[in-house]
Amino acid sequence: MTLRLYDTATRSVRDFVPKTPGKVGIYVCGLTVQSVPHIGHLRSSVNYDILRRWLQHTNHDVTFIRNVTDVDDKINARAAERGISIRDLTEETYKYFKEDVAALGCLPPSVEPRATEHVDQMKTLIERLVKNGCAYVAADHVLFEVKKMQDYGKLSKRSLDEMIAGARVEIAPFKKDPMDFVLWKPSKAGEPAWPSPAGIEAPGRPGWHIECSAMSWKHLGETFDIHGGGIDLVFPHHENEIAQSRCAFHTRVMANFWMHNGFLQVEGDKMSKSLGNFITIHDLLKDWPGETVRFTMLQTHYRQPINWTIAGLKESQKNLDHWYELTAEAKPGYLCSEVVGALLDDLNTPKAFAALHELRAEAAKGARPAAASLKASAQLIGLFQWSAAKWTSFRPASISIDERKVQRLIEARSAARAAKNFKESDRIRDELAAMGVVVKDSKDGTTWEIAR
């Protein structure tokens, strides 16, 4: 029963052993709070939630840190564009994000540290790096000197030339080398500013990478178990985090495991505002329960790219409708060993779903232990968080239905059925179907759903 995880640093699936038995520290790079979160942002939250649920299920005390980047060039630009304060912009975006991750059934982080509340720790790290010769001051900036770190580039396995091309490095006359990256920079008028470290007189602000080294240090220590994020963060962000932390603390590693989730595409295309396929979770949740969104994301292994489609969402909704119906009366039973085995194998959720579908087939034939096991096993991956009654009463906002009329027709149909007037009851069912309503009869009465 050993959890095995893919580690980007060693390019291999390895047994996960926590640094301290029974305790696990996880740091995941969170959101830059500049605009309403889209489905790509939430993929990482759902993945690490699966990991966390498993670790907690196996009695680990998990400290889960997801940071909030609330100081950044894009935030400053966005606030200026909208004519609101940086604080108002970051608060608004952060609120959306918190609501969205909760709606997708993700457990809240142990701590959600904000970059602007950790500037002191960042400055301490910067001072250390200057003192030990890994960073230098130039033109009121502090820069990390990449050539001082022998194995820089090890995580992304790139050559220096590839890294220069990939990072679109800023060529600045004050840099010793184009690869050197910013730890601290002077603030322009109107930008957030703090007293600078390393003897710099002009007020300034941190570069992006240093905040994660500072926050992971404060909340998890100099080294910790798992660092996660999207695959796009491997270079330069994570490479630079490693350089900063290892050089400041003289450690062999920053984190023992580096986990990265894949990209997300929409109907086969890269999601972008210009393509008009930019989907925010906020909009999605008007028409679909958060669990349907979660179910859809988990159909793809976390390291693979997701192709997000409406057809996929419909399929998930259909499955969950059936699963809720089958397990409405069931108490959670035994965990299915195939589901557990799949999760232990680098969180292989598609494999877990194959086993869940088998349980569903058994439960549909009336096997009560299968329904009980389906409920317990799906709960392990954060599904079945709603009651069956809440599930069936969910109504998509974009489909307008006259609920009172539906109710009236259902009552008339029940009366026709009681009077054995099946011609009339069938006619009413067809009338409801034409309105986009599916009627479901059970021993407890009749319920209805929107046909998708």
| Residues of this chain that bind Zn ion (CB under 5 A) | 29, 212
Residue located via tokens 């029940």: 414
For the CB of residue 212, give the shortest distance to Zn ion in the complex, in Å.
3
Q: Cβ closer to Zn ion: 122 or 298? A: 122
For the CB of residue 190, give the shortest distance to Zn ion in the complex, in Å.
26
Bridge partner list, 28: 66, 228
Q: Cβ closer to Zn ion: 52 or 429? A: 52
φ/ψ (deg, to 5) at 81: -60, -40
Longest dimension (CA), the chain: 90
Q: Cβ closer to Zn ion: 94 or 353? A: 94
Distance of alpha carbon 14 from alpha carbon 379, whole angstroms:
26
Q: Cβ closer to Zn ion: 233 or 363? A: 233
For the CB of residue 438, give the shortest distance to Zn ion in the complex, in Å.
46
Q: Cβ closer to Zn ion: 129 or 212? A: 212
Distance of alpha carbon 332 from alpha carbon 326, whole angstroms:
12
For the CB of residue 271, give the shortest distance to Zn ion in the complex, in Å.
21
For the CB of residue 141, give the shortest distance to Zn ion in the complex, in Å.
20
Distance of alpha carbon 358 from alpha carbon 377, whole angstroms:
12
Distance of alpha carbon 222 from alpha carbon 207, whole angstroms:
20
Distance of alpha carbon 294 from alpha carbon 290, whole angstroms:
6
In terms of DSSP bridges, do strands 23-32 and 61-69 run parallel, antiparallel, or are they unpaired? parallel
For the CB of residue 210, give the shortest distance to Zn ion in the complex, in Å.
10
Residue located via tokens 């011609």: 423
**Would you say 290 and 104 are in contact if contact means Cβ atoms under 8 Å apart?**
yes
Q: Cβ closer to Zn ion: 215 or 383? A: 215
For the CB of residue 29, give the shortest distance to Zn ion in the complex, in Å.
3
Q: Cβ closer to Zn ion: 32 or 300? A: 32
**Would you say 104 and 45 are in contact if contact means Cβ atoms under 8 Å apart?**
yes
Q: Cβ closer to Zn ion: 207 or 382? A: 207
Q: Cβ closer to Zn ion: 29 or 428? A: 29
For the CB of residue 237, give the shortest distance to Zn ion in the complex, in Å.
5
Q: Cβ closer to Zn ion: 41 or 360? A: 41
Who's near 352: CB < 8 A, 6+ residues apart?
298, 338, 339, 342, 343, 377, 381
**Would you say 65 and 219 are in contact if contact means Cβ atoms under 8 Å apart?**
yes
For the CB of residue 80, give the shortest distance to Zn ion in the complex, in Å.
24
Q: Cβ closer to Zn ion: 29 or 340? A: 29
Q: Cβ closer to Zn ion: 35 or 216? A: 216
Distance of alpha carbon 53 from alpha carbon 386, whole angstroms:
17
For the CB of residue 218, give the shortest distance to Zn ion in the complex, in Å.
14
